[in-house]
Chains A and B, each alone.
Chain A
Amino acid sequence: MSTDSHDLIIRVGGEGGEGIISTGDIITQAAARSGLQIFTFKTFPAEIKGGYAMYQVRLSGDPITSQGDGFNIFISFNEEAYQINKNLLKEGTVFMYDGPGGGFEPEIPPGVISYPVPLSQIAKEDLGSYRTKNMVAVGAITKLFGLSQKSVEEIVTNKFKKKGDEIVDINIRAMHAGISYVEKELEKKDSFKVASLEKQKDTIVLDGNEAIGFGALVAGCRFLSCYPITPATEVAIWLSKFLPKVNGTLVQAEDEIASIGNVLGAAYAGKKAMTSTSGPGMALMSELLGMATMAEIPCVIVNVQRGGPSTGLPTKHEQSDLFISVYGGHGDASRIVLACDDVTDCFYLTIEAFNLAEKYQIPVILLSDGALGMRKEAIKRPDLSKIKIVDREKYDPESRGDKPFLRYILNESNVSPMSIPGQEGGAYVATGIEHGEKGAPKYTPENHIMMSKKRFEKMKNVEDDLPETKRIGDDPADLGIISWGSTHGPTKEAIARARNQGLKVAGLFPKMIMPLPEKAISKFAKSVKKIMVPEINYQGQFAELIRSKMGIESVKYNIYGGLPFTPLEILNKIEEII
């Protein structure tokens, strides 16, 4: 939890396409340049123009694990954004809005400090371009809340540089118009100020999707096949720039079936390969995922989850693809499922995903989600010299002497060395059909029993491959919370707040979903009186999985409105059930 006095949450809301996201990005970058920790949170409509869009950034001198409970400062570009957020305008909050001339007259609740700034009017009448409205806002925000004007000018210039001097010029002018309006017409009545700390040298700022892309690169991924899908596309967009630089290949395939097919072909041919998608794409991939299991082809499938089922809520947040990740597809299919809990994790866990895929020759599904994929955090620059990379065990012709190569040889580890095309004596057929040790079709009962066991038992000790599952809080505790994925952040903050109030609460954050880290969960369950599993889906998918696999009952806490948990929601639930 952030106890820092610099903790400040700024929210910008308006219509999609009005520059809400750019405004938020500029504030975020300027704050990060001032040495602050940042945590962004966006929601936007599924359409390119129109609909409510929101960008929020939380700033602090201390590490931040969630988007917070509300905001300190709200900037509204239109009436809809005001209407959606007006109940959050509590005493002590600051409200800046487009007015007069913004087409709405907000009611200012008692204790709320308001700053009307005629954003539309200045943009239209003084600058002759309505599109500069957001830059007028950027100027006003800079002046009102003490962002470094120099930083903001640099960021704005860099942002529009590619579009030519004229565009840079009008945006800088708009920004200055915002600044002068505040100087001339407004008097600062609140005490919020973006702090300026010593700049952190070993900090990088990136979002979850970029962190997955970078993690894949460092893991040795040299092949990505993708199909555009919200909110996963940015993984491919980032890699499209950097994969060719490392002699890697990126293909945009005709659909997700082709994407996973391309990945299996590339992985069979010896490359570390990945695809990135979201729920609908993953549903299409399920048949070939089964083939990856059957033919024991190492590969990584990133699923940046969104709201479902079907097209669902493409731009909203949900953790509802646990079941499809764990169970999706036909037949008895073994696989590994991991879930990232923050941006740092997106980097490191992607590397683990490749390491496990290679070690066990198995598909690894890496779960992220829309909120995590799109949010930016300032994270500690990874020390690459400390990262361990695992490569698959390759067929060594000398190891077999005169005996022929058996691709699926049964041995103690249940992992058979894999040949790569080009290797003398290593030829075999990778097949989705049940096969014997050689790889040729074989349907005898004994063989199917042995091979099914092989495919499951090869990863029976996989729990020990990852660092021990993180546990925080009291031991023993009255309440233990097990959360997965990005729900980790608000849970962690809620636990810290509950403990400050004297409650005995603990948390466990498994990164491996399948196979379940049963040792860690079992030990945790014994140390707490009650278990709660908060997750963003209707069914309580993780709670169900824990119950079905381990017989452990928990209190389900489910929300499913398309937004992440706030720490306050979880804190309230802790108080209710403890």
Chain B
Amino acid sequence: MLTETMPAKDYKSSVPPTWCPGCGDYGVLNGFLKALSDLKINYNEAVVVSGIGCSSRFPFFVKTYGIHSLHGRSLPLAVGVKLARPDLEVIVTGGDGDGFSIGGGHVPHVVRKNIDITYIVMDNSIYGLTKGQVSPTSNVGLVTSTTPYGSPDDPVNPIGYVLTYGATFVAQGFSGNPKELTELIKKGIQHKGFSFINVISPCPSFNRRDTFKAIKELIDPILDTHDTTDRVKALDLAFNTDGKVRTGIFYDLHKPVYHDRLDEIKRKSKASDEPDYEAIMDTFKV
């Protein structure tokens, strides 16, 4: 942590974003930079990890350390960084296709291990970098370049997905509401454990249905009366079929994190930084 606040703009790298004008991801980047600034994060001690896709270009635009990995593989890389160096702040950024289609198999395991990282998904319900194909969060019937007659697939429910596997912090934001989003990202980073923030981040170029305007009308903030420690109620909100887009915190609970459990294993095995290799070799004597 820094001792003094560094302005949000100073967390920006010299690489200009490659996103289209009007892309929702600008809002997420700004909210993220503001969150880093508010939390006085030392950019030398943070690593932003992503996969492939428009939103996965994110690490290049931030001054922190970063990994721009392969399509769907941001989480495995981030887990490696965090478990090797629990002292680092690890944030994962990416899109809905990267996270819930090609990389969807990793999510349950990173969630159940409660790896202490923050995962921000920029959900635009479309494959943007390949110019507009149906994504795992596209609504059924969406017309895209690979679904000219409308998508036959039902979408995945990202909030329900991570809640089911036991995520300990689950929230949803909207890139059209940067103030709320900044707060959600801050809470996610501060949460010790796996934090998931799904951000509805419209693609103005390839998804003509889920536009800023259309989403705005569906936004329905979660009420203060919602009990964020009740997983069943959180699931109820996530799976509500009224067509609304709920924003705010669905679930927030503290549970032991994975690297603490690994530390416990090290304690049990009487770990030392000056290992006695000769004694280890003696175990091979007959």
Chain A residues with CB under 8 Å of chain B are 29, 32-33, 203-206, 210, 214, 217-218, 222-223, 225, 241-242, 244-247, 249, 251, 253-255, 257-271, 273, 287-288, 291, 295, 378, 381-382, 384, 421-433, 440-441
Q: Which of B66, B88, B108 contacts A422 (CB 8 A)?
A: B88
Q: Quick check: B275 and A265 within 8 Å, CB to CB?
A: no
B81 within 8 A of A: yes
Q: Quick check: A422 and B44 within 8 Å, CB to CB?
A: yes
In the complex, chain B residues whose CB is within 8 Å of the CB of A382? 281
Residue of B nearest to A32 (CB): B286
Interface residues of B in 247-286 (CB under 8 A from A): 262, 265-266, 268-273, 275, 277-278, 280-281, 284-286
In the complex, chain B residues whose CB is within 8 Å of the CB of A429? 59-60, 65-68
Q: Which of B59, B73, B80, B284 contacts A269 (CB 8 A)?
A: B80
Report the bound CA distance from A200 to B133 in whole Å: 69
Report the bound CA distance from A262 to B262 in whole Å: 15
Name the 3 nearest CB pairs between A and B, nearest first: A265-B80, A261-B76, A266-B84
Chain B residues with CB under 8 Å of chain A are 15, 43-45, 47, 49, 59-60, 63-70, 73, 75-85, 87-88, 105-106, 108-109, 262, 265-266, 268-273, 275, 277-278, 280-281, 284-286
Given A244-B268, A421-B88, A422-B45 in contact, is the A268-B80 Cβ separation under 8 Å? yes
In the complex, chain A residues whose CB is within 8 Å of the CB of B67? 264-265, 268, 295, 429-431
A391 to chain B, nearest CB (A): 15
Q: Quick check: B44 and A427 within 8 Å, CB to CB?
A: yes
A446 to chain B, nearest CB (A): 20
Residue of A nearest to B61 (CB): A429
Q: Quick check: A421 and B60 within 8 Å, CB to CB?
A: no
Q: Quick check: B277 and A218 within 8 Å, CB to CB?
A: yes
Q: Quick check: A249 and B83 within 8 Å, CB to CB?
A: yes
Q: Quick check: B88 and A257 within 8 Å, CB to CB?
A: no
Q: Which of B73, B78, B79 contacts A288 (CB 8 A)?
A: B73
Given A269-B84, A427-B63 in contact, is the A262-B79 Cβ separation under 8 Å? yes
Report the bound CA distance from A261 to B60 in whole Å: 20
In the complex, chain A residues whose CB is within 8 Å of the CB of B65? 421, 426-429
Report the bound CA distance from A8 to B63 in whole Å: 67
Please list 6 pairs of residues, one from A and one from B, whose beta carbons are closer than 8 Å in the complex, sorted by A's number. Answer: A245-B280, A261-B76, A381-B281, A421-B45, A422-B87, A433-B68
A244 to chain B, nearest CB (A): 4
Q: Quick check: B81 and A266 within 8 Å, CB to CB?
A: yes
In the complex, chain A residues whose CB is within 8 Å of the CB of B280? 214, 217, 242, 245
Given A288-B73, A421-B85 in contact, is the A204-B284 Cβ separation under 8 Å? yes
Q: Quick check: B277 and A384 within 8 Å, CB to CB?
A: yes
In the complex, chain B residues whose CB is within 8 Å of the CB of A210? 284
In the complex, chain A residues whose CB is within 8 Å of the CB of B64? 427
Q: Quick check: A205 and B286 within 8 Å, CB to CB?
A: yes
Report the bound CA distance from A394 to B47 in whole Å: 18
A373 to chain B, nearest CB (A): 16
Q: Which of A203, A254, A381, A421 contacts B44 (CB 8 A)?
A: A421
Q: Quick check: A247 and B266 within 8 Å, CB to CB?
A: yes
Query: Which of B44, B67, B80, B105 has the most CB atoms of chain A within a 10 A radius of its CB?
Result: B80
Q: Which of A205, A246, A263, A433 contacts B284 (CB 8 A)?
A: A205
Report the bound CA distance from A206 to B286 in whole Å: 10
Q: Quick check: B68 and A431 within 8 Å, CB to CB?
A: yes
Report the bound CA distance from A271 to B271 in whole Å: 17
Query: Which of A33, A245, A267 has the most CB atoms of chain B within a 10 A radius of its CB?
Result: A245
B22 to chain A, nearest CB (A): 22
Q: Which of B45, B84, B270 contacts A273 (CB 8 A)?
A: B84
In the complex, chain B residues whose CB is within 8 Å of the CB of A424? 44
Q: Which of B47, B59, B277 contacts A421 (CB 8 A)?
A: B47
Report the bound CA distance from A429 to B60 in whole Å: 6
Q: Quick check: A262 and B76 within 8 Å, CB to CB?
A: yes
Report the bound CA distance from A423 to B65 in whole Å: 10
Query: Which of B43, B67, B70, B109 has the most CB atoms of chain A within a 10 A radius of its CB?
Result: B67
Q: Which of A32, A273, A384 contacts B80 (CB 8 A)?
A: A273
A293 to chain B, nearest CB (A): 12
In the complex, chain A residues whose CB is within 8 Å of the CB of B68? 429-433
Report the bound CA distance from A263 to B65 in whole Å: 17
Q: Quick check: A265 and B70 within 8 Å, CB to CB?
A: no
A379 to chain B, nearest CB (A): 9
**Could you list 15 further interchain pairs (A-B, Cβ under 8 angstroms) beyond the known A264-B77, A427-B63?**
A214-B280, A223-B80, A241-B269, A244-B266, A260-B76, A262-B77, A263-B80, A265-B79, A265-B80, A269-B88, A421-B44, A421-B88, A427-B43, A429-B65, A431-B67
Q: Quick check: A214 and B45 within 8 Å, CB to CB?
A: no
Q: Quick check: A257 and B73 within 8 Å, CB to CB?
A: yes
Report the bound CA distance from A241 to B280 in whole Å: 10
A284 to chain B, nearest CB (A): 11
In the complex, chain A residues whose CB is within 8 Å of the CB of B15? 440
Report the bound CA distance from A259 to B281 in whole Å: 27
Report the bound CA distance from A251 to B262 in whole Å: 9
B54 to chain A, nearest CB (A): 13
Q: Quick check: B44 and A423 within 8 Å, CB to CB?
A: yes
Residue of B nearest to A254 (CB): B109
Q: Quick check: A217 and B275 within 8 Å, CB to CB?
A: yes
Report the bound CA distance from A428 to B66 in whole Å: 6
